[in-house]
Amino acid sequence: MQHWFSERVTERLLRYAVVDTQSDRSSTSRPTTPGQWDLLNIISSELQDLGITDISVLDEGFLIARIPPTNRRLEQVPAVGFMAHVDTAEDVSGRGVVPQVIKEYTGNDIPLGTSGYVLSPKEHPELLSCVGKDIITADGTTLLGADDKAGIAEIITAAEYLTARPELEHGAVELIFTTDEETGRGMDHFPVEKLRSRYCYTLDGPGRGTMEAECFNALKCDVIFTGVSYHLGNARGRMVNAVTMAASFISMLPQAESPEATDGRFGYYCPLTVTGDAEQASVTVFIRDFDRTEAVRRSEAVEQMARSVQSAFPGGAVRVETLWQYENMYDAISRDPKVLDVLKRSIASAGITPEMTSIRGGTDGARLTAMGIPAPNIFSGGFNYHSRYEWACADYMAEASRVVVETVLQWAREE
Ligand SMILES: [Zn+2]
């Protein structure tokens, strides 16, 4: 059975990886790039081929498909959703992906196509846990897109398994495919009222066997500096340079609380973009922390630093616009522990030891949880996301797909 899953998820990942679905933070269209529609349409026709008839591709950039309960008695089982995103990150190109499959990996360095880049177990020791298994990479010129096309492949393969076996008893299952997860704005327009799921699982985590019910609290501060520009020849005592103000602000951010200097449960400030000129400049700072009060403390500190800069540059002005991007889903999920209990049992019955980890980031699941549908995250078998060194293990992907099947069946057993 593992072999069947492994073949199906690999074949699907290879097919989806070549579709350029990179999202674009600067775009205002929905989804932000047209390639994302292409993959939603491919998914839609694949689901139709599996005999699934209830498929909606929504204008907001979502696909929701439903597999009905096996029989009327199972209508009482809570509907459960599985979710993955079609877009890939902006960090590395996703155009013209050329995936390669390394069969029965030997533990040696893997040349990424002819690019000169090498994926080596010396820098990426997780590779050594996959000796003898099949590994999928790109060719070094792009990312692979296993984040999150591995998740899509796993969900659809699980749907293929279930729809071909009407004797397996389960409740209603929803398959949800989203766009623009990587921009952080994809879920802004999610029509949650169209969903019947009481619980949902996002397949968007790296590695194997992990389940994640905790993510960062996330705030974004846009700090806008207004200076006074002047002819540089006569600027003495008159000009207030917004670029210098922005630089002064950035230098106040504590370097010990940056993403480069933290891991585990420590949060951070990260100045992510700087734009502008002498008259106006702006700095975008991301604030992240598992603890809500710490996240709020950091946003207050940003306000304080902004005020200090303003008083150090008479005539200049500083303004801060703060936005909550997403919240730690832990509290909401732990109020309804069954969603994790069922998952834990399902991972174990797929023969894997479940491991609870925290996401140093967010997922669409965190946004969905905030909308009232608890949505922890499941591993999807990929590594080195957002990088040209991204890779996936076919066996781990197969296991993730089996966890989806097990979870569906487990919910029916619980009733
Ligand atoms: Zn992802």
43-81 pLDDT, tens digit each: 999 999 999 999 999 999 999 999 999 999 999 999 999
Measured distance CA(259)–CA(1) in Å, rounded? 41
pLDDT at 146: 96
Looking at the fold, whether 48 and 168 belong to one and the same domain comes out as yes
The reported pLDDT for the residue numbered 2 is 87
Whether residue 154 sits in one domain with residue 74: yes
Q: Of 258, 290, 325, which residue sits at a domain end? A: 325
On whether both 99 and 238 belong to a single domain, the answer is no
- Distance from residue 97's CA to the centre of ligand 1 (Å): 17
- Do 224 and 351 lie in one domain? The reply is no
Q: Does 318 lie in the same domain as 194? A: no
| Helix or strand holding residue 36 (H, E) | helix 35-49
Residues 312 and 346 in one domain: no
148 and 269 inside one domain: no
- As a residue count, the chain comes to 415
Q: Tally the domains of the chain.
A: 2
Co-location of 195 and 228 in the same domain: no
Burial state string for 203-238 with b = 16 or more CB within 10 A and e = fewer than 16? bbbbbbbbbbbbbbbbbbbebbbbbbebeeeeeeee
Confidence of residue 229 (pLDDT cuts 50, 70, 90): very high
**109-142 tens-digit pLDDT:** 999 999 999 999 999 999 999 999 999 999 999 9
Q: Which residues are catalytic?
A: 87, 181
For 284-305, how does the pLDDT look when each residue is reduced to its tens digit (9 = 90+)? 999 999 999 999 999 999 999 9
CATH code assigned at 81: 3.40.630.10
Give the C-alpha separation, 149 to 375, whole Å: 19
Same domain, 360 and 388: yes
206 Cα to the center of ligand 1, angstroms: 9
Does the pTM of the predicted model rise above 0.75?
A: yes
Ligand 1 center–CA 136 separation, angstroms:
17
Which of these three, 282, 301, 325, is where a domain ends? 325
Verify that 267 and 403 share a domain, yes or no: no
CA–centroid distance, residue 6 to ligand 1 (Å): 21
* Domain shared by 298 and 360, yes or no: no
* Ranges assigned E (strand) in 122-172: 135-137
* Residues of the domain holding 39: 2-215+328-414
User: Do 339 and 203 belong together in one domain?
Assistant: yes
Q: What is the pLDDT of residues 333-363, one digit of tens each?
A: 999 999 999 999 999 998 999 999 998 888 8
